[in-house]
Amino acid sequence: MPGVSARGLSLEERRQLAVNLTRVLSLYRSILDAYIIEFFTDNLWGTLPCSWQEALDGLNPPQLATQLLGMPGEGEVLRYRSVWPLTLLALKSTACALAFTRTPKFQAPSEFRENPSQSSRLKAPFRKHVRPKKQHEIRRLGELVKKLSDLTGCTQVVDVGSGQGHLSRFMSLGLGLKVKSIEGDQRLVERAQHLDQELLQTLGKEEKRNPQVVQMHSHRSPHHVAQWVDPRTLCEEVLLPLETSPQGEARLLLTGLHACGDLSVALLRHFSSCPEVVALASVGCCYMKLSDPGGYPLSQWVAALPGYELSYRLREGACHALEEYAERLQKAGPGLRTHCYRAALETVIRHVQPKLRRPGVQGIPRVHELKIEE
């Protein structure tokens, strides 16, 4: 699918892209704000222009994936059964033009060619309890942090939102960095400490068996702290050094792997506000969980644009892969009926309680196979 690559764009081009995006959001706000559960209760089909209804009426799910999303199945050729209105074609073309490039420019990491479950570039002790994707991530991010640490002369790495400590363990026991590991969940902190001891025992045994082969950068495991980091304020624990530097000045490198929602904001705020933080390597995730206001949008310039607002539901949708939705439509499985059943249920809910809107009634797996009584 054609699209925009953010790389190589000047500041002015990026701003123009943001202006164009917010303009489209404003034009089609009624569609964006629609909930599929209100398809019947709010007559959503009737809100579409008549020319759109004529073009889309009767299309089956695979045809919707091919014609509307522009994602044909394997070997399928894009063919329209009728002439579409220019307004619908314009929306489709605009969405494609403003979307970020969706064609991967890399192959599967070479480290998994021999065994798809084990990274050949991460030593066996550091792979234990770690899934393949995470193995790749902790190795890549850990090595990047090591390079940044050497370049900036940092005295300590702070892993914020460290979870079970897989990245922290690799950076400290694998790369020899001095690491403080901060996690808000006490249970995960205890689990991380347990895995630290387990890894130390394994590395100790290997060192005894092969003293000339095994090189332990450090016998010091990460220093774990149970601490909730408030994204709205600076956290003293993040800035507190483990020990006094010989030069008397702490130089901190902040990192976070899958720093969820506002945690990424907190890392950026510490980096921009605190002189002792000399470097930042953050891999964010769950962008829909950015608080509003305060987290979304991060750019004050974007926040000044009309129509920039995105609800939690829209931000969540933006974080999902369009290819997965297209695949569901192409397969046309019976699970698609669930949307219809839920919209029909909404008519019953509204009949009983007219003022109850958009209740959090969640679906359950394979609900389309159950009887109505069940």
Helices (H), the chain: 11-27, 29-32, 50-56, 61-63, 86-98, 124-127, 132-152, 166-169, 186-209, 236-239, 262-273, 300-303, 312-319, 322-331, 337-352
What's the pLDDT at 32?
A: 87
**Per-residue pLDDT, 135:** 94
pLDDT of residue 231: 82
Distances (CA, A) of 124 to 86, 131, 137, 231: 58, 12, 15, 36
Contact assessment for residue 32 and residue 314, using Cβ atoms and an 8 Å cutoff? yes
Per the CB < 8 A criterion, the answer to whether 273 and 234 are in contact is yes
- Tell me how crowded residue 238 is: count the other CB atoms within 10 A of its CB: 21
| Answer CATH for 122-285 from 1.10.10, 3.40.50, 2.60.40, 3.30.420 | 3.40.50
What residues of the chain score a pLDDT lower than 50? Answer: 1-2
The pLDDT score that the predictor gives to residue 43 is: 94
Distance CA 80, CA 364 (A): 36
Q: How far apart are the first and last CA of the chain?
A: 42
- Show the tokens assigned to 132: 């393949």
pLDDT in tens, 31-76: 888 888 999 999 999 999 999 999 999 899 999 888 888 877 777 7
Could you tell me the residue ranges of all domains in the chain? 11-102+320-369, 122-285
* Whole-angstrom distance, CA of residue 150 vs CA of residue 305: 40
Residue 307 structure tokens? 């129509």
The DSSP result for 54-70, as a single string, is HHHTT--HHHIIIIIS-
Please tell me the predicted confidence (pLDDT) of residue 6. 59
Closest CA to 164 of 204, 129, 121, 132: 129
Q: How many CB atoms lie within 10 A of CB 248?
A: 6
pLDDT at 1: 41
Identify the three-state secondary structure at position 296: coil
